[in-house]
Amino acid sequence: MIYRCPLCQQALSKEDKTWCCPSNHRFDCAKEGYVNLLPVQKKKSNDPGDNKEMMFARREFLNKGYYQDLSDKVNQLANEYLEGARFGLDIGCGEGYYSDRLVESLPSDFSLYGVDISKSALKYAAKRYPNISFSVASAFDMPFPDDSFDFMLRIYAPSLDVELKRVIKSGGILITVCAGPRHHFALKELIYDNPKEHTEDSSQIEGFELIHQERIEQELTLDDAADIGHFLKMTPYNWKLTEEQKLALAKSGLSCELDFKVEVFRAL
């Protein structure tokens, strides 16, 4: 497996701690071990993706195991469908929680790459999980050659169908996770007069066939104020809740629905 240059699409090769292409575009590895393949001219802001505060909140929350059942289900499906897979990609891998647990569940000859637009998240991920190859890049323009991966994982990360199809091998497996109808509905009821459920319809990804779908439904109950704060900061509803509402939840505790829609696709 090699990276491709985000500027000219030629293959990158590693010289010491620098990735470079035949046109001499060069990308240094950070001290933590990841490589930044998101050129300045392709950034939409100085520090795209989740900031340090959001990354820290998600890291602390996930490390408590509150979403472990989702991770376990992803790993179970990966082991069921990934016979003979050698190269995988976690799209929007964040701080690496799901990536690491996935690798630990698969055979030792499986190699995983993680890509995320947030440098803050990958600093933590690369330092903590050195057995995974992490790169800062956009999921809309991924720094990999065509037909690179047997398997891809996408948990909540936005992406382009054509780009997913480009980097996966024919017959490769894609596992996606998105919000089911009742996901976090109790929070929506605090914010909106007429909250709407997410769609229950199957996802459509051009160039892929859906081969499995299921939902994971649970009740999340949090009593610790720090855990509640971390949870709210990692959801989009954090910006909608008032400070008074957040304080009230921290005092009284929080209970809301978890509803994950997990789907398995095969590349055509």
Enter the tokens of residue 2: 């090699």
Q: Any binding-site annotation on 230?
A: no
Q: Any binding-site annotation on 3?
A: no
The DSSP string of 187-253 is HHHHH-SS--PPP-SPP--TTEEEEEEEEEEEEEEE--HHHHHHHHHTSGGGGTS-HHHHHHHHHH-
Cα–Cα distance, 245 to 250 (Å, whole number): 9
Cα–Cα distance, 210 to 201 (Å, whole number): 12
DSSP letter at 44 equals: S
Reported as half-sphere exposure (CB side, CA atoms, 13 A), residue 15 has a value of: 9
Helix or strand or coil: residue 71? Answer: helix
* Chain centre distance of CA 42: 20
Cα–Cα distance, 233 to 90 (Å, whole number): 22
Q: Any binding-site annotation on 163?
A: no
Which whole-number Å values give the CA distances from 117 to 15, 151, 232, in the listed order?
24, 20, 21
Q: Any binding-site annotation on 95?
A: yes
Cα–Cα distance, 116 to 89 (Å, whole number): 11
Binding residues: 5, 8, 21, 25, 67, 95-96, 183
Annotated binding site for Zn(2+): 5, 8, 21, 25
Binding residues for S-adenosyl-L-methionine are 67, 95-96, 183
